[in-house]
Structure 1
Amino acid sequence: MEGDQHMSTFINSQAKLGNHVTFGYNCIIEEDVEIGDNVSIGHNVIIYKGTKIGEGCQIHDNVVIGKKPMRAARSILKAQSDHPPTVIGNRCTIGTSAIVYVNAQLADEVFVADLATIREKVTIGSQTIIGRGVAIENECSVGAYCKIETNAYITAFSTIEDYVFVAPGVVTSNDNYIGRTEKRFSAFKGCTIRKGGRVGANATLLPGLIVEEDGVIGAGSVATKQVVSGKIVVGNPAKPLRDVEEDQLLINQPKKS
């Protein structure tokens, strides 16, 4: 570990720190935390028990990693006492005041912007960008090379595959009963956006909606039915407009190295 060991920073004796790890003021590093080489940690950071952080990561001020979920008395989700630890890959960036819950897994080079929230049982693939204020709820899967932009909301139980683009202000939903009747407890279903799917700003996706590969939902649309591969849908309710242009298809984009 490099730099001054501040009196206001607590590092549990059972934590394992790599070489050239730096800390700001008022950090708490709990037991069995593992931090790789060349990691920079800002001020007021809390890293909970068992969290694993790869090499070359940048953890900015006021970040919380490994937080356990809270459960309201009326929550439909059952409380769980034992959670696997959070795992952060190599060369990830976690922005100011972001929260990454316990049992989340971020692959290498994921970028999480300021104020984002990543809930428990979420996986995020390599080089994906999670924008400012984005909320990804529990039990979601996000692929590699995705962009989920400012203030998008990804509802629980959703699947987002590789190379997906989600514009600012997009809202997904998972409850067709809008919070009433017992039927809803067995009918929750998140949204699925398959490889190369794109969703325009302020669009709304209804529960269980599937966007097939290279499907596009236009800005401000309300998508109620499956979006066919390679089609653009717009409006409320969203209806087919035209095919995605050839040069816009994922197969015709530059390959990631």
Structure 2
Amino acid sequence: MTYISRAAKILSSRVSADVVILGPTVIGEGTIVEPMVVIGHPVRAKLMKALGSDLGIDEYMDSISSGSQIGSNCIIRSGTVIYEDVVLGDNVETGHNVLIREGTRIGSGTRVGSGVIIDGETIIGSNVSIQSMVYIPRGTVIEDGVFLGPNVVITNDKYPPSRRLDGVRIRRGAVIGANSTLIAGIEIGENAVVAAGSVVTKDVPPNKVVMGVPARPVYDVDVFIRKRAEYEGSKAP
């Protein structure tokens, strides 16, 4: 499974030999790329044209890929597939079997857990924590310092399948609990908290905690912060 494009610029000595790196991809200094990783995978529209090409599939994919940019001191774990036109900042870390589709931008210090799918044309800020098995569709904007718990599902189609897609915006510092679902077009306010298992159908104001199906405000985030501090300070049973 080894193929490294001649057009790629690899500044790190920590890239496994067992990888596929396509097009004019740039990999920054100190970045670790584990075996079984693909970087620069071309989009479907380009791949369809391969049916009439005489080139081998690796050479063809390389010839049509726009490549991606991976910052310095990142960790790209095995099974990760990164499409073309993706930009990762410094110190970004992926878990195993992560898919990052084309046009995604991820800021420095962000961690992307195992099994996460980022479906392209998405903006994710710095120091975001995305836990395992989260789904992030096209048009989503996630600002700095957001926490997404395991199995969070974000949607972008309110009446599927439709021709109108509305992205979700999650403002700085928000916390989204495990197994929550965010419905297309909503905005989660700065420092807001969505309780685990909630279905959020309307905008969440800044500094509010919401929970339930559908989610409704229950108290200010100050109460959540106090409860968390008490929990952290309590003795384990």
Please report the TM-score for the alignment, with normalisation by the length of structure 2: 0.84
User: Are 2:2 and 1:27 aligned?
Assistant: yes
Give the superposition deviation at 1:242.
Answer: 0.5
Identity between Structure 1 and Structure 2 (%): 36
Aligned to 1:62: 36
Aligned to 1:197: 174
Pick aligned residue for 1:172 from 145, 154, 158: 154
Aligned to 2:187: 210
Give the superposition deviation at 1:46.
Answer: 0.2
User: Unpaired runs of 5+ in structure 1?
Assistant: 1-25, 74-80, 250-257
Name the structure, 1 or 2, with higher relative contact order (CA <8 Å, separation 6+): 2
2: CA distance, partners of 1:161 / 1:119: 18
Q: How does 1:179-194 map to 2 (within 5 A)?
A: 179=161, 184-185=162-163, 187-194=164-171
Secondary structure of 1:245's aligned partner: helix
| Matched letter for residue 27 of structure 1 | T
Q: Is the 8 A contact 1:43 1:62 kept in 2?
A: no
Larger relative helix fraction:
2
Aligned to 2:71: 89
Pick aligned residue for 2:16 from 14, 31, 42: 42
Q: 1:235 to 1:45 in 2, by over 3 A?
A: same
Residues 231-254 of structure 1 show CA distances to partners (whole Å, capped at 9, x for unaligned) of 0000000000111127839xxxxx
Superposed CA RMSD: 2.0
Pick aligned residue for 1:243 from 217, 220, 223: 220
User: Are 2:82 and 1:100 aligned?
Assistant: yes
Please report the TM-score for the alignment, with normalisation by the length of structure 1: 0.78
2: CA distance, partners of 1:150 / 1:31: 34
Give the superposition deviation at 1:190.
Answer: 1.3
Aligned to 1:112: 94
Give the superposition deviation at 1:196.
Answer: 0.3
2: CA distance, partners of 1:195 / 1:29: 37
| Matched letter for residue 88 of structure 2 | L
Give the superposition deviation at 1:49.
Answer: 1.2
